[in-house]
């Protein structure tokens, strides 16, 4: 069911599309009339063929002129505002209508019609900028295939030139945002990604001055929601809240409908937590070094639990095993909770899993932590050494949640989103709510987040290839 904000936005969108259809009908009628008038004025009446050809040529030239209006005037619309731009367009349309109504005879109109055709075509391009500016996401959803292709073709033309002419792109960015923002969560409601999205959204709404609408797309391990963002218009009105599985899936799934680095643009890491290396209390190992020695003394006899094949835990343990020179047997379960149950029961001896799932079992003495996967010690377990401290320098195993948008989004918009997100992540109330979920705030620049993504993609791809790990 649509929220009141979504319902209002849909109504406005339908109105804009309808007004665009009206402008198109007006366009064909008024400039068809002017073209016919030109032919009648400049050629004798008996030369019907020449008159027709000249009028058609004028009409064709008008079509070539119109994109200039869409590009240069339509893209400039953000400087004067859509309402003022619409008034200018209606005023120019009224001039054309009054000319037909008040000036007697085809011939008289035809004498100055070429000027009106040029101005009118620029005007029509300008009006395309008015009715298209800022509604591309919704046009893609509600317009018919024919209209979608037609309208988006005008808008994409103005966007491409706006990228070349930085001043026009900046004008668009300065007005951002001027309508609701859609935040896609590619997992089910109630999961950690969804919780984080709903904690962050109110802060972004206050700072950006527009609603942030959560859109859950739980299908195909997040691929469906990620692909929807990758294929959205690059205007900053479609955001994506991903987990670190965003970098695991490409490493284990050979064919994806998107490229994680080419088709999506990072904004910032939102939150993170350590993966804790745990053993069952019956395992005679109190440190990572002791566990490695035990595993080397009994190759292949120790096993480890994961939330499923080709998950981050699976890859993390395999990567660690490669670096440590040990061999462990993998036992996949259907989710983190069953994996933890198996660990507590002693069915498996080792795992690397999130702080959120681990801490209750650690506090109950049901499981023993032997290392933290982050590069710095976990604030909730300050006495627990990291993997890097225990003989594996640079080794990092964390879960993160991050914010991305569609590749090609103007740099100014990404920087604005990054600044507002970093401001939110410094809010004490949000930090406290993150801590309740076992999370620490992220932050940083888009470049920082891009480096994290690139490093993880490289690590997991190499690990998956070496261990022959593929998604089922």
Distances (CA, A) of 20 to 73, 252, 295: 16, 46, 70
Residue, of 193 and 162, whose pLDDT is higher: 193
> Which residue in 179, 81, 200, 164 sits closest to 129, CA to CA?
81
> Using CB atoms within 10 A of its CB, is residue 391 exposed (0-12), middle (13-18) or buried (19+)?
middle
For the segment 110-126, what is each residue's pLDDT rounded down to a tens digit?
444 445 545 554 454 44
Q: What are the beta bridge partners of residue 284? A: none
Q: How confident is the model at residue 174 (pLDDT cuts 50, 70, 90)?
A: low
The residue-averaged pLDDT of 181-200 equals: 93
Between 89 and 214, whose confidence is greater?
Answer: 214
- The answer to whether 464 and 317 have CB atoms below 8 angstroms apart is no
Report whether 252 contacts 212 (CB < 8 A). no
Same domain, 164 and 199: no
Sign of CA dihedral 424, 425, 431, 437: positive
* Domain-ending residue, one of 127, 146, 174: 174
Same domain, residue pair 92 and 226? no
Residue 214 near residue 243, CB atoms below 8 Å:
no
Average pLDDT over residues 182-195: 91
Q: What is the 3-state secondary structure (H, E, C) of 166-233?
A: HHHHHHHHHCCCCCCEEEEECCCCCCHHHHHHHHHHHHHHHHHCCCEEEEECCCHHHHHHHHHHHCCC
Average pLDDT over residues 341-363: 94
Rounded to whole angstroms, the Cα distance separating 381 from 369 reads: 9
Question: Are 170 and 212 part of one and the same domain?
Answer: no
Does the pLDDT at position 404 exceed 80? yes
Q: Is 140 exposed, middle or buried (0-12, 13-18, 19+ CB in 10 A)?
A: middle
Average pLDDT of the segment spanning 346-355: 95
| Mean pLDDT of the region 186-201 | 92
Q: Write the pLDDT tens digit of every residue in 291-328.
A: 999 999 988 899 999 999 999 999 999 999 999 999 99
CATH number of the domain encompassing residue 214 = 3.40.190.150
| Mean pLDDT of the 192-214 span | 95
Q: Output the six-digit token pair for 214.
A: 């959560």
Confidence of residue 4 (pLDDT cuts 50, 70, 90): low
Query: Which of 142-151, 182-191, 271-280 shows the lowest mean pLDDT across its residues?
Result: 142-151
State whether 231 and 329 are in the same domain: yes
How far is it, in rounded angstroms, from Cα 460 to Cα 443? 23
Domain boundary among 116, 139, 174: 174
pLDDT at 164 over 80: no
Residues 388 and 443 in one domain: yes
Q: Which residues of 164-173 are buried (b: 16+ CB within 10 A; e: fewer)?
A: eeeebbebbb
Q: Specify whether 37 is located in the same domain as 102.
A: yes
Both 443 and 345 in one domain: the answer is yes
HSE at residue 135, side-chain half, CA atoms within 13 A, is: 27
Residues 164 and 281 in one domain: no
**For strand 264-279 and strand 350-354, is the pairing parallel, antiparallel, or unpaired?**
antiparallel
Across all residues in the chain, what is the average pLDDT? 78
Residue with tokens 């069952």: 280
- Examine the fold and report which residue of 174, 206, 234 is the final residue of a domain before the chain moves on: 174
pLDDT at residue 139 greater than cutoff 70: no
Question: What is the reported pLDDT for 129?
Answer: 42
For residues 420 and 208, is the Cβ–Cβ distance under 8 A? yes
Whether residues 129 and 250 fall in one domain: no
DSSP-derived 3-state class of residue 438: coil
Of the listed ranges 217-221, 247-251, 344-348, the one predicted with least confidence: 217-221
Give the number of domains in the chain: 2
What percent of the chain is modeled with pLDDT above 90?
55
- Burial class of 19 by CB neighbour count within 10 A (0 to 12, 13 to 18, 19+): middle
Q: Answer yes or no: is pLDDT of 403 > 50.
A: yes
Q: Which domain holds residue 33?
A: 4-174
Which comes out higher in pLDDT, residue 48 or 358? 358
H-helix segments, 209-309:
223-230, 245-252, 288-297
Beta-carbon contacts of 401 under 8 Å, excluding residues fewer than 6 positions away, are 192, 193, 196, 241, 242, 243, 244, 269, 270, 271, 272, 439, 442
Residue 6: pLDDT band (50, 70, 90) is low
pLDDT, tens digit, 9 for 90 and up, residues 19-50 = 555 555 555 555 555 555 555 555 554 455 66
- 212 in the same domain as 123: no
Dihedral through CA 397, CA 403, CA 406, CA 408, nearest 10? Answer: -90
**End-to-end CA, the chain:** 34
Q: What is the pLDDT of residue 126?
A: 45
Tell me what pLDDT residue 171 has: 42
Q: What is the pLDDT of residues 249-292, one digit of tens each?
A: 999 998 899 999 999 999 999 999 999 999 999 999 999 999 99
pLDDT of residue 196: 96
Q: What is the pTM of this model?
A: 0.63
- Are residues 131 and 242 located together in one domain of the fold? no
The tens digit of pLDDT for each residue in 75-120 reads: 444 444 455 555 665 666 666 556 555 555 444 444 444 455 455 5
Given this model, what pLDDT does residue 79 score? 46
Q: What is the pLDDT of residue 300?
A: 85
Shared domain check, 221 and 122: no
The CA-atom distances, in angstroms, between 335 and each of 24, 67, 274, 275, 357 are 54, 54, 18, 15, 11
Structure tokens at 115: 């000027």
Q: Give the dihedral sign, CA 78/81/86/88.
A: negative
């Amino acid at each position: 069911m649509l929220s009141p904000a979504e319902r209002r936005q849909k109504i406005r969108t339908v109105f804009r599309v309808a007004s665009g259809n009206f402008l198109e009908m007006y366009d064909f009628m008024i400039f068809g009339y002017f073209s016919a008038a030109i032919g009648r004025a400049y050629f004798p009446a008996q030369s019907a063929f020449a008159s027709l050809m000249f009028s058609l040529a004028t009409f064709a030239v008008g079509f070539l002129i119109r994109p200039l209006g869409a590009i240069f005037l339509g893209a400039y619309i953000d400087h004067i505002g859509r309402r003022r731009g619409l008034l200018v367009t209606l005023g120019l349309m009224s001039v054309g209508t009054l000319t037909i109504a008040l000036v007697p005879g085809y011939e008289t109109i035809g004498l100055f019609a070429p000027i009106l055709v040029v101005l009118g075509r620029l005007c029509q391009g300008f009006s395309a900028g008015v009715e298209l500016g800022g509604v591309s996401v919704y046009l893609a959803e509600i317009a018919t295939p024919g209209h979608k292709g037609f309208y988006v073709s005008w808008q994409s033309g103005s966007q491409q030139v706006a990228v070349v002419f930085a001043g026009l792109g900046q004008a668009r960015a300065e007005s951002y945002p001027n309508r609701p923002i859609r935040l896609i969560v590619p997992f089910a409601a109630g999961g950690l990604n969804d919780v984080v999205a709903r904690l962050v959204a109110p802060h972004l709404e206050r700072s950006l001055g527009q609603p942030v609408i959560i859109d859950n797309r739980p299908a195909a391990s997040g691929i469906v929601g990620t692909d929807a963002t990758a294929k959205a218009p690059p205007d900053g009105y479609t955001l994506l809240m991903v987990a670190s599985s965003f970098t695991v899936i490409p490493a284990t799934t050979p064919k994806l409908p998107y490229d994680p680095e080419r088709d999506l643009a990072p904004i910032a890491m939102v939150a993170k937590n350590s993966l804790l290396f745990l053993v069952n209390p019956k395992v005679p190992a109190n440190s990572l070094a002791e566990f490695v020695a035990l595993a080397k003394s009994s190759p292949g006899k120790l096993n480890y639990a994961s939330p499923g094949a080709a998950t981050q835990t699976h890859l993390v343990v395999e990567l660690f095993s490669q670096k440590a020179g040990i061999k462990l047997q993998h036992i996949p379960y259907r989710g983190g909770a069953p994996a933890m149950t198996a660990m507590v029961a002693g069915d498996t001896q080792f795992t690397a899993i999130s702080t959120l799932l681990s801490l209750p079992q650690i506090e109950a003495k049901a499981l023993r932590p032997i290392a933290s996967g982050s590069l710095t010690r976990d604030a909730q377990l300050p006495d627990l050494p990291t993997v890097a401290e225990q003989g594996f320098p640079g080794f990092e195993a964390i879960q993160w949640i991050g914010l991305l948008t569609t590749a090609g989004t103007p740099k100014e918009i990404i920087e604005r989103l990054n600044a507002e997100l970093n401001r939110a992540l410094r809010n004490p109330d949000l930090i406290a709510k993150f801590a309740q979920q076992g999370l620490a705030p992220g932050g940083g620049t888009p470049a920082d987040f891009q480096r994290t993504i690139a490093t993880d993609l490289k690590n997991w791809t190499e690990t998956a290839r070496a261990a022959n790990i593929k998604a089922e």
